[in-house]
Amino acid sequence: MMDLLEIPDEIRSWIGKSLIEDDAGFEVERGYIATTCASVENGNPIYWDDEVAAAITEGPIAPPAMLSVWMRPHYWQPGRTEQPMPLEVHFKLKKGLELPEAIVTANEIVFGAPVRPGDRIRTRQVLKSVSEPKTNKLGTGRYWAIDVEYYNQQDEWVGTETYEFFGYRRD
Amino acid sequence: MATDWPILTADQVKEGDALPSLSVDVSATTVVLGALASRDWRPMHHDRDFATNQGVRDIFLNTPSQAAWFERYLTDWTGPLGRPGRLRFKMRRSVCPGDTMTFTGVVTGVETDDVGCCWARVKIDLMVGDENMTPCTARVALPRNPSDNPWKRQGADWKP
């Protein structure tokens, strides 16, 4: 197994902390909700029929699995010179640990209060863990897990996504 | 208002029950539409040359698209009163245009939590041929009876 960089003190100090807090920069909107439902042919009437939504969910909501849609930055916007990274903590880890390759090994999403059109969603990225060095068929590297917590404009928790990664170098 | 939606109540569900399977032919449009719907602009989800240069056989379904497929599969079964609480999945292999994905599911448990919410645990497999591309486990809240509605739960009464 090749030698890996020790986990720098700075990265150790990140574990358990909220490192990046961000706002989606736009309101939850029905066009994306309809496009998402169309993309997976989801005919659930709470997303298509306002009367059904009123009866069941007290008005229109977004499919819970859309959470990450509300944290992804625009591809371009005026005045910006660098392409933004949607999961910035992950890219900081790759760079800080000198592990150029990475894959998502597992994803968990826990759903809180419903997300509704007009909501402004903000996120907090929390580094949960970084493993000791591991070697598998991809190479040698480390596993890490990042929580992305989502809140609406009333500071109500609307969900948490946990991304588990393996960052590695090819042997 | 349409009122003929299915209502699956917790007492109709037991461990070992199989969900109806769902087969979907994946096209380039399936992949690209899913990526755009989830605001994922990364090229491996729309640029075949980029994907193959990365060692993948083609563009492939992204993570939020797979989450959306799992949610749709789950709520096709429960009807609109089913409220997803949790999804966990591992993408073992890429799902690409030309694949036919088949979702299968089985109930692994039914329980009532300490605030009276009824839950079904479901194991879902996203298969392509004989290969389990993405195994998933889900927890979904079900109404106790036709007048119960898990979507009304909030705060401490919602423990996903």
Q: Determine whether the interchain pair A110/B86 forms a contact, defined as Cβ–Cβ distance below 8 Å.
A: yes
d(CA B46, CA B32): 5
Q: Is residue B57 part of a domain?
A: yes
Is B154 buried (19+), middle (13-18) or exposed (0-12) by CB count in 10 A?
A: exposed
Q: Which residues of B touch A35 (CB under 8 A)?
A: 33, 36-37
Which pLDDT does position B54 carry in this prediction? Answer: 85
pTM of the model: 0.94
Residue A165 bridge partners (DSSP):
A104, A144
Cβ neighbour number for residue A122 with a 10 Å cutoff:
19
Q: Is residue B79 part of a domain?
A: yes
Q: Which residues of B touch A52 (CB under 8 A)?
A: 1-2, 5, 80
Domain count, chain B: 1
Please provide residue A2's backbone torsions phi and psi, each rounded to the nearest 5 degrees: -70, 155
The per-residue pLDDT string of chain A (171 residues; one tens digit each, 9 = 90 and over) reads 556 778 888 999 999 998 889 888 899 999 999 999 999 999 999 999 999 999 999 999 999 999 999 988 888 889 988 877 778 899 999 999 999 999 888 999 999 999 999 999 999 999 999 999 999 888 899 999 999 999 999 999 999 999 999 999 876
Angle at alpha carbon of residue A20, lines to A19 and A21, rounded to 5°: 130
Please provide residue A146's backbone torsions phi and psi, each rounded to the nearest 5 degrees: -125, 130
Token reading at A86 = 């949607």
Q: Which residues of A touch B65 (CB under 8 A)?
A: 39-40
Q: Is residue B117 part of a domain?
A: yes
> Could you give the C-alpha distances from A126 to A14, A24, A162, B7, in angstroms and in order?
8, 17, 9, 38
Helices A30-39 and B63-78 sit at what angle, rounded to 10 degrees?
80
Residues contacting residue A9 through CB under 8 Å, at least 6 positions apart? none
CA distance B63 to chain A (A): 8
Q: Which residues of A touch B89 (CB under 8 A)?
A: 106-108
d(CA B154, CA A107): 24
Domain range enclosing B24:
10-146
d(CA B117, CA B158): 8
CA distance A107 to chain B (A): 6
Q: Determine whether the interchain pair A65/B68 forms a contact, defined as Cβ–Cβ distance below 8 Å.
A: yes
- As a dihedral over the C-alpha atoms of residue B148, residue B151, residue B157, residue B158, rounded to 10 degrees, the angle is 130
A85 contact B CB<8A: no
The answer to whether domain A9-169 has CATH 3.40.190.10 is no
CA-based torsion, B2, B3, B9, B13: positive or negative: negative
> What is the gyration radius of the CA atoms in chain B, in angstroms?
17
Name which of B37, B149, B154 is nearest A32 (Cβ-Cβ): B37
List chain B residues with pLDDT less than 50.
1
Query: Can you give the residue ranges of every domain in chain A?
Result: 9-169
d(CA B122, CA B17): 9
Q: Determine whether the interchain pair B71/A105 forms a contact, defined as Cβ–Cβ distance below 8 Å.
A: no
- DSSP 8-state symbol, A25: S
B119-123 — which CB contacts under 8 Å span 24+ positions? B119/B10, B119/B85, B120/B10, B120/B13, B120/B78, B122/B19, B122/B74
CATH number, domain with residue B136: 3.10.129.10
- Give the length of chain A: 171
ipTM of predicted assembly, 2 dp? 0.95
Tokens 């889900």 identify what position? B138
Which pLDDT does position B1 carry in this prediction? Answer: 46
A153 contact B CB<8A: no
Q: Which residues of A touch B1 (CB under 8 A)?
A: 49, 51-52, 55
Which pLDDT does position B78 carry in this prediction? Answer: 97
Q: Could you tell me which of B84, B106, B92 has the C-alpha nearest to residue B61?
A: B92
Q: Determine whether the interchain pair A40/B72 forms a contact, defined as Cβ–Cβ distance below 8 Å.
A: yes
Q: Determine whether the interchain pair B68/A39 forms a contact, defined as Cβ–Cβ distance below 8 Å.
A: yes
Residues contacting residue B156 through CB under 8 Å, at least 6 positions apart? B115
Q: Is residue B120 part of a domain?
A: yes
Q: Is residue B160 part of a domain?
A: no
Q: Is residue B129 part of a domain?
A: yes
The full DSSP string for B87-132 is: EEE---S---TT-EEEEEEEEEEEEE-TTS-EEEEEEEEEEETTEE
Q: How many CA atoms lie within 13 A of B139 on its CB side?
A: 17
Residue of A nearest to B81 (CA): A56
Q: Determine whether the interchain pair A45/B151 forms a contact, defined as Cβ–Cβ distance below 8 Å.
A: no
